[in-house]
Structure 1
Amino acid sequence: MRGFATWCQANDQPSLPSNPAVCAAFLVELAETKSMSTITVAVAAIRDAHLAGGHRDPTGSRGVKTVMSGLRRRLGTAPLHQSRAFDVPELKRILAFDRATPAGKRDAALILLAFASAMRRSELAALTRADLALSAEGIRITIRRSKADQDGAGAVIGVPAGHHMATDPLRAMRQWLSVRSGSKSDLVFARVSRTGVVLAGGLTGQSVNVILQNRAAAARVELDGVSAHSLRASHITEASRAGVPLEQIMRTSRHASVAVALGYIRSAGVIQDSSAGALGL
């Protein structure tokens, strides 16, 4: 809604309440630089702001719906860039770096926790030490707020201890916390200097991206499509391949939409499911 209000102010148009013609003009201009998913989010924000203020929803008009239909045909609804999922052997390749250094301990804990928990990068960056409870069984994680939890209700998920030293998220987290000093209110994942000093302040969501991409590049893993979101996508696709029921996967990933969760699984299996495999090529 903020982007719409800014646009309306610049064009001397009413933003709240607004009207269908203004909304349609805004959406057409937005489509010059943004994807269909961004436009859809903008429409939802305009609608919610109007309904919350007791105004009539301008986006429900026939004119705006016609504009949206045209934009969908023009732009498509599939994401332009999809994060690539990878399997456990590829994960092990990425983790084959020096884990004796503070940066190595942090990166191993970060990557393994992200893979095992299916957490979003913003959630990982926001974790404090008070949000983690470590035991012999694994890690109990309190997620205080997330992208899909706008009311701040929070969620608690668990990550079991691993069976292999190289990929055990509990072991990796214990090793990182052994060098990560601070109080319970401090962020779990901190910056580390080039000389190995753990610094004050935490990582950002973009930092999580950079760390994974740097480690993947060093391991000579194909970088196309690799981002922090790959770790979340990898959890979902690998759990599905292992026969974990979709309901159980969604309890961990906290997806509200079955269709969205299935999108990860179907995308990962598109080559294996292709009828071309039976053509004898």
Structure 2
Amino acid sequence: MEAKEHLLNSKAENTKRAYTSDWSHFEKWCYSHSLESLPADPQTLAYYITSLGKEKKASTIKRRMAAISQRHKTKGYPSPCKTPLVKGVWEGLQRKIGVEEKGKEALWLHELREVIEALPKDKLIGIRNRALLVIGWVGAFRRSELVGINIEDISITRDGIIIHLNRSKTDQKGEGQDVALPFASNPLTCPVRSFEDWITASRLKDGPLFRRMDRHGNIMERLTPPAVRMVVKNSCEAVGLDPQRYSAHSLRSGFCSQAARAGKAEHQIMKQTRHKRSDSLQRYIKKASLFDDNAASGIGL
């Protein structure tokens, strides 16, 4: 009973922290748009969740709505989430996000090589994008994790590089996770070489590893998650792939699918991807193994 109670308390604390963070985000958003956060007008909330729909998952938006609803109830106000307007907008967003998430393709290794090969090797932005794409793919990083990497979080060893994540989606307590990226036989898709090439070319010593660049090639501030999505889309389009079919998540799903097709054990893939539950990984494994022992193969077609 004590263990169960401790687990429930732990989950409650995690939820409380998430709600506090979500409400803070909504408050800041309202302030930046000169709108009232408490009580919030249904039109304000509809506007807010629509803006979130451009880059957030449905589960994230749902949690933020729950946080907003709870804060209103705590302060004695009716929840704007229950109004017909917000309900209608939310239902539409769920359909839109569901279709988009379902439609994104995994970026397979041969496609990654094509994309990397097409990058301008003599330009700083090409060197940065190669490092971003290769490290993102081999490390199976979420886009938020990728842009959160600092140079001082990276250690070079005889076997490859180790990237320390200070915080990630599956590490809500902030204990940190280490992700190992080994040397690759192909220099084109080697995460260590791409990292070293970017550091040498950019002359960066510390701070954000991946940064925005202006049209003159000057290195600016930390790259944002939406910017990673655009790098992936634009790079795919450059080699003839439909940019509407790919996103930042294509790097992570591409690694999962390729590793599964190569016969890597589930626990090995989960170690690299930091998945906490195997069912989250199953959709990649299932898709990657569709042609394994296929009944239509070897029957004389």
**TM-score normalised by L of structure 2:** 0.68
Partner Cα separation in structure 1 for residue 182 and residue 190 of structure 2: 9
Match of 1:230 among 250, 262, 269: 250
Q: 1:8 deviation in Å?
A: 7.5
The answer for the alignment partner of 1:172 in structure 2 is 194
Letter in 2 for 1:139: I
Partner Cα separation in structure 2 for residue 190 and residue 237 of structure 1: 28
The answer for the alignment partner of 1:156 in structure 2 is 178
Q: Report whether the alignment pairs 1:260 with 2:290.
A: no
The answer for the alignment partner of 1:209 in structure 2 is 229
Letter in 2 for 1:165: P
| Counterpart mapping for 1:238-249 below 5 A | 238-249=258-269
Q: Which moved more, 1:103-112 or 1:256-265?
A: 256-265
Q: Which moved more, 1:97-106 or 1:151-160?
A: 97-106
Match of 2:138 among 82, 100, 116: 116
The answer for the alignment partner of 2:153 in structure 1 is 131
Q: 1:46 to 1:89 in 2, by over 3 A?
A: same
Q: 1:275 to 1:46 in 2, by over 3 A?
A: farther
Q: 1:181 deviation in Å?
A: 2.5
Structure number having the greater helix percentage = 2
Question: Taking every aligned residue pair, what percent have the same amino acid on both sides?
Answer: 29
CA contact (8 A) 1:84 1:224 kept: no
**TM-score normalised by L of structure 1:** 0.72
Q: 1:40 deviation in Å?
A: 5.4
Q: Name the SS of the counterpart of 1:179 in structure 2.
A: helix
Partner Cα separation in structure 1 for residue 185 and residue 116 of structure 2: 16
Q: 1:41 deviation in Å?
A: 3.5
CA contact (8 A) 1:140 1:157 kept: yes
Q: Report whether the alignment pairs 1:91 with 2:106.
A: no
Match of 1:193 among 201, 214, 218: 214
Q: 1:128 to 1:11 in 2, by over 3 A?
A: closer
Q: 1:38 deviation in Å?
A: 5.2
Partner Cα separation in structure 2 for residue 244 and residue 121 of structure 1: 24
CA contact (8 A) 1:85 1:233 kept: yes
CA contact (8 A) 1:94 1:221 kept: no
Match of 1:9 among 39, 45, 55: 39
Letter in 2 for 1:272: F
| Counterpart mapping for 1:32-47 below 5 A | 37=59, 41=63
Partner Cα separation in structure 2 for residue 111 and residue 11 of structure 1: 41
Q: 1:45 deviation in Å?
A: 5.3
The answer for the alignment partner of 1:101 in structure 2 is 123
The answer for the alignment partner of 1:81 in structure 2 is 100
Match of 2:291 among 257, 272, 276: 272
Q: 1:9 deviation in Å?
A: 2.5
Q: Cα RMSD over matched residues?
A: 4.0
Q: 1:254 deviation in Å?
A: 0.7
Partner Cα separation in structure 2 for residue 156 and residue 177 of structure 1: 20
Partner Cα separation in structure 2 for residue 102 and residue 7 of structure 1: 43
Partner Cα separation in structure 2 for residue 40 and residue 276 of structure 1: 42
Letter in 2 for 1:79: G
CA contact (8 A) 2:141 2:273 kept: yes
Q: Name the SS of the counterpart of 1:191 in structure 2.
A: strand
CA contact (8 A) 2:260 2:288 kept: no
Match of 1:181 among 203, 220, 225: 203
Partner Cα separation in structure 1 for residue 191 and residue 177 of structure 2: 19
Q: 1:280 deviation in Å?
A: 8.6
Q: Name the SS of the counterpart of 1:224 in structure 2.
A: helix
Q: 1:98 to 1:152 in 2, by over 3 A?
A: same
Q: Name the SS of the counterpart of 1:178 in structure 2.
A: helix
Partner Cα separation in structure 1 for residue 149 and residue 160 of structure 2: 16
| Counterpart mapping for 1:60-71 below 5 A | none
